[in-house]
Structure 1
């Protein structure tokens, strides 16, 4: 159940936007990503899980453990980073789902364009109604729909095979569609890749579960769960990404990015002759983004609840904190979904870099700083994670100063 829940948290909007950024760069970035995806995903999430596992109390989540390690101020900074690494992702899902449903109504159902204010309200209201049932229901719901989603993701990739062409293997270049160098292309892909395979919001819940269920074997069990989910992710996602890349040109991927649609919705509109695929693809995209919204809400709720406890000096009850968190999430997600900012821009500029701080740099610092974590030192793995963490964070700086975004 936990392997499927980790997979369900990760495989959503990120995967549906990953082929767009990756496809714009051509074959070379895709091959580099194929090599890097598993080690970057596994080592970083395992390190974050170990950080939480070493908390003194079995029930301690990442926000509580962070405060015990770094003190009140440092723990507060970590909680803020954790929240702002996850909360923008919820906003990405609210935008993506709203755009997906709007596109489906216009292109597949032949309806007039819906009122965006009302549509975004209904979308976010339904999502928040589901998460209001609690963590157990969320995990069970995600687990139940993951197997069908894996099947549909693979079937979608197979369905695209008749549309494959050899353009990806022609004129193999070390530059992207705009003449950018390979390094710049990879720089822009990395945050999307980190986001696409990211399941950090549920790692804290996994660590708490393993501490309570497996005691001294918690690390071994958690590591095997993370590895199993990551292998499943790599096989299904990279097959899907390559299948998409084989049937569109870099220029068409650039158009998909401009339209702010997940790849399945763009393909449904692009290949209108594939009637069944055109109808089913947006539905798959909706399911994928919805289940990831549920998983990421667990992490966002952890972070915002901890902020509320800190502001009120722990005088607020957990039930009241949950209600306030739900109301704030609903209002902000609704407004952002209505405004429709560029999804890939949010991922590249905010989500990816902040996730890299939480996933790549913070656990490494803790491993070398605190004696109870010294047993996890591994120089080769750690330097590998450190370098790619810095590269991912540098993307935001590059976009800000060189691309003017």
Structure 2
């Protein structure tokens, strides 16, 4: 294998930037509700979950030797299954766009009320203004938007890391003495898995990554993907979980509950909690740009997914900015931002579990089902990825089970 190169370094940070977005701003809120100790096990689980799942997906896509994930799906599963996977792909990303519309509306509203001392703005008007601006950016130079987002990722990551260090003097080490019961411990981890999966997910970039590594390394591409993805997963583990640890050691479970009820990013909650211009004004600004940059990437993916569904169902070519897709995204984002549903609910109930299907279950199934992919079979690793994917998906069943049971309960 060739030595580590500038190409490898660039892709490691590109994958890192794809994963680190607004998800990191909500992960501490979900993870922190169970206290400090469950996060230790989350750290142990999330590294192999992230590394192996993305590695198997890259093997699946890379086996086409130059194609993307659509080519791989059509090649191995056929057109009908391709429609189903495109549908799942859309619904893994679309709810996150809705969540970001809610998040940016709440972030600005909280900033206007708590930092600027203004009256609470009319929510509908604020949502229309913010989402109109975000959508208008989509119709400018798309390449420029993508480049700007890439440039913003790295200073944002640096600022979040510095924020993690800034919180150290505020750590409450007595939190270490709060040990949850076994049931609370397991439940916390189980219900946090969808948010963990979402926060570490960089699957939207795997197709391009697999294609580029094949073009660069040819017969050595599999080994290089393995090396780059391993280093990227290590970087993500250190960066994201240090931020989570730092947040959890500053707040108690009740405060995380308040942040969840307020439906705002963790940085906005800290801005309201701490005095001082750096946090009060800097934290909402970082949250705003983190949501904004993450939204653009997810909007491109959701638009691609919806256009792909329309094309597959109608059999006709669809323009990138076709009217139906644009109006549908615009109107639904405003409606959802106005009604202000739980952002973590979107991630836990829709985004995380559906991502788990595409990222954890589909590649493992293909490796066992498709003869030419069986060279990638690794019993223990494949079983681990599949089991963790299933557990992530079942967390939704756990949450909706009481509602289902109530339908059969007579009062």
Give TM-score, length-normalised by structure 1: 0.91
1:42-61, aligned counterparts within 5 Å?
42-55=51-64, 58=66, 60-61=67-68
Instruction: Kindly indicate whether residue 299 of structure 2 is the aligned counterpart of residue 297 of structure 1.
Output: yes
**Shift of the alpha carbon at 1:264?**
0.6
The equivalent residue for 1:190 is 193
The equivalent residue for 1:236 is 239
The equivalent residue for 1:172 is 179
Secondary structure class of the residue paired with 2:341: coil
Instruction: Please say if residues 36 and 249 of structure 2, whose CA atoms lie closer than 8 Å, have aligned partners that are also in contact.
Output: no
1:15-26, aligned counterparts within 5 Å?
15-26=24-35
Distance 1:134 1:221 in 2: 33
Q: Among residues 127, 137, 144, which one is paired with 1:137 in the alignment?
A: 144
**Shift of the alpha carbon at 1:111?**
1.6
**Shift of the alpha carbon at 1:133?**
4.5
Secondary structure class of the residue paired with 1:316: coil
1:253-264, aligned counterparts within 5 Å?
253-264=256-267
Give TM-score, length-normalised by structure 2: 0.90
Instruction: Please say if residues 202 and 298 of structure 1, whose CA atoms lie closer than 8 Å, have aligned partners that are also in contact.
Output: no
Instruction: Please say if residues 7 and 146 of structure 1, whose CA atoms lie closer than 8 Å, have aligned partners that are also in contact.
Output: no
Deviates more, 1:112-121 or 1:241-250: 112-121
Change over 3 Å in CA distance of 1:37–1:86 after alignment to 2 = same
Instruction: Please say if residues 265 and 287 of structure 2, whose CA atoms lie closer than 8 Å, have aligned partners that are also in contact.
Output: yes
Secondary structure class of the residue paired with 1:402: helix
Distance 1:131 1:220 in 2: 37
Q: Write out per-residue CA displacement over residues 119-165 of structure 1, whole angstroms, 9 at most, x where no aligned residue.
A: 21222223233334466434422321122112100111111122111
Secondary structure class of the residue paired with 2:33: helix
The equivalent residue for 2:290 is 288
Instruction: Kindly indicate whether residue 346 of structure 2 is the aligned counterpart of residue 339 of structure 1.
Output: no
The equivalent residue for 1:316 is 317
Change over 3 Å in CA distance of 1:219–1:131 after alignment to 2 = farther
The equivalent residue for 2:6 is none
Change over 3 Å in CA distance of 1:47–1:326 after alignment to 2 = farther
Change over 3 Å in CA distance of 1:134–1:373 after alignment to 2 = farther
Distance 2:347 2:401 in 1: 17
Instruction: Please say if residues 106 and 112 of structure 1, whose CA atoms lie closer than 8 Å, have aligned partners that are also in contact.
Output: yes
The equivalent residue for 2:3 is none
Unaligned runs of at least 5 residues, structure 2: 1-9, 407-411
Deviates more, 1:6-15 or 1:73-82: 6-15
Distance 2:300 2:11 in 1: 14
Unaligned runs of at least 5 residues, structure 1: none
The equivalent residue for 1:98 is 105
Q: Among residues 143, 167, 180, which one is paired with 1:160 in the alignment?
A: 167
Distance 1:401 1:391 in 2: 15
The equivalent residue for 1:149 is 156
**Shift of the alpha carbon at 1:403?**
6.5
The equivalent residue for 1:371 is 371
Q: Write out per-residue CA displacement over residues 351-394 of structure 1, whole angstroms, 9 at most, x where no aligned residue.
A: 11111111111110011111221111111111111111111111
Distance 1:324 1:137 in 2: 24
Q: Among residues 130, 138, 150, which one is paired with 1:123 in the alignment?
A: 130
Instruction: Please say if residues 9 and 291 of structure 1, whose CA atoms lie closer than 8 Å, have aligned partners that are also in contact.
Output: no
Instruction: Tell me the matched-pair count.
Output: 396
Deviates more, 1:301-310 or 1:216-225: 216-225
Instruction: Please say if residues 35 and 178 of structure 2, whose CA atoms lie closer than 8 Å, have aligned partners that are also in contact.
Output: no
**Shift of the alpha carbon at 1:28?**
1.9
Instruction: Please say if residues 11 and 196 of structure 1, whose CA atoms lie closer than 8 Å, have aligned partners that are also in contact.
Output: yes
Distance 2:256 2:282 in 1: 20
1:22-41, aligned counterparts within 5 Å?
22-41=31-50
**Shift of the alpha carbon at 1:213?**
4.7
Instruction: Please say if residues 190 and 395 of structure 2, whose CA atoms lie closer than 8 Å, have aligned partners that are also in contact.
Output: yes
Distance 2:221 2:318 in 1: 30
Instruction: Kindly indicate whether residue 256 of structure 2 is the aligned counterpart of residue 249 of structure 1.
Output: no
The equivalent residue for 1:107 is 114
When the two chains are superposed, the root-mean-square deviation of aligned CA atoms in Å is 2.1
Instruction: Please say if residues 9 and 296 of structure 1, whose CA atoms lie closer than 8 Å, have aligned partners that are also in contact.
Output: no
Secondary structure class of the residue paired with 1:12: coil
Distance 1:25 1:319 in 2: 43
The equivalent residue for 1:3 is 12
Instruction: Please say if residues 105 and 126 of structure 2, whose CA atoms lie closer than 8 Å, have aligned partners that are also in contact.
Output: yes
